[in-house]
Amino acid sequence: MKQITKYVIKNSLKRIFLYRACLARLKMMGVEKVFSYTLANDTGVTPDQVRKDFSEFGIRGNKRGGYEISDLLEKMENIFHRNKDHNIVLIGMGNLGLALSKYSKFVQRNMNIVATFDIDPFKQKIRSDIPVYSMSRLKEIIDRFRIKVAILAVPEISAQQVSDELVRAGIKGIVNFAPVLLKVPPEVVINNVNLCDELESVIYYVHKLMQDEGLKNLEILYKDMKY
């Protein structure tokens, strides 16, 4: 009945995030306008790609004049629904969960962890701005705040079971830090973040690079690791 839905975020979307981060920085520096090649230079992609990506997401500038940064950012905010607040829950207040609950960038981007949950009564006593609830109150809180997205930071062994609970409680998207492939119904979005794999990837590429040094191979590597 349950099926695997293991997703990889599209590269063009990742690049849009990149552009946005860059634009936000430029805006802070007082810059008002950009051209596709400005963004390209700053993010390491080609100007063509910037424009194609914008085209894909329906973002348009004005010919000759480039793009108005505020305008561009506003359009992106709309695309990503960043003008509204997003309430999130976090399950598992262990090492990782605790760190994530303290991460201020989430709030800065309007993503509020409004509640955290843990099976361990001891964890429920953590003094923190965000309340730590017992798992029995999961559905109640998710319903009350109309929460659709959860961060899962429980041990591998409990991940599937907690994921099932989340889906039953109405969660539609999960950022999963446990190194397991969750089985969820097809209408639930899973984004697996596997930090071991991220580290291993780097080790893999570093080895590849050191094995056969020289520019020829650098180029091959670059092909392998496209932006």
Ligand X SMILES: NC(=O)c1ccc[n+]([C@@H]2O[C@H](COP(=O)([O-])OP(=O)(O)OC[C@H]3O[C@@H](n4cnc5c(N)ncnc54)[C@H](O)[C@@H]3O)[C@@H](O)[C@H]2O)c1
Partner DNA sequence: TATTTGATGTGAAACAAATCACAAAATATG
Partner DNA sequence: CATATTTTGTGATTTGTTTCACATCAAATA
Per CB under 7 A, which of residues 65..84 are in contact with DNA?
65-67
Tokens of 67: 């793009």
Q: Which of residues 156, 212, 219, 224 is near ligand X by CB under 6 A?
A: 156
Residue 16 engages DNA in binding (rule: CB under 7 A): no
Among 48, 140, 209, 220, binds its own copies (CB under 8 A): 209
The yes or no reply on residue 103 touching ligand X (CB under 6 A) is yes
φ/ψ of 133, rounded to 5, equals: -105, 165
Residue 61 interface partner, choices ligand X, its own copies, DNA, none, CB cut-off 5-8 Å depending on type: DNA
Length of the chain counted residue by residue: 227
Contact present, 137 and 121 (Cβ < 8 Å): no
- Which residues from 34-63 bind DNA, rule CB under 7 A? 34-37, 45-49, 51-52, 54-55, 59-63
What is residue 115's three-state secondary structure? strand
What residues have CB less than 8 Å from 78, skipping those under 6 apart?
Answer: none
Should residue 52 be labelled a site residue for ligand X when binding is judged by CB under 6 A?
no
> What minimum distance in Å lies between the beta carbon of 163 and ligand X?
10
The region, left, alpha or beta by phi > 0 then psi within -120 to 50, assigned to residue 81 is left
The strand pairing partners of 68, in sequence order, are: 33
What span, in angstroms and rounded, lies between the C-alpha atoms of 2 and 217?
44
Minimum separation from the CB atom of position 139 to ligand X (A): 14
Q: Give the footprint of its own copies on residues 5-34 (CB under 8 A).
A: 5-11, 13-14, 17-18, 21-22
Beta strands in 38-177 (DSSP E): 67-68, 86-91, 111-117, 132-133, 149-152, 173-176
- Over the window 82 to 121, marking each residue x when it contacts its own copies by CB under 8 A and - when it does not, the resulting string is x---x-x------xx-xxx-xx-xx--x-x----------
Alpha-carbon span 111 to 149, nearest angstrom:
10
Q: By CB under 8 A, is residue 186 in contact with its own copies?
A: yes
Tokens of 41: 């230079």
- Residue 14 binds which entry of its own copies, ligand X, DNA, none, CB below 5-8 Å type-dependent: its own copies
Among 12, 25, 74, 179, binds ligand X (CB under 6 A): 179
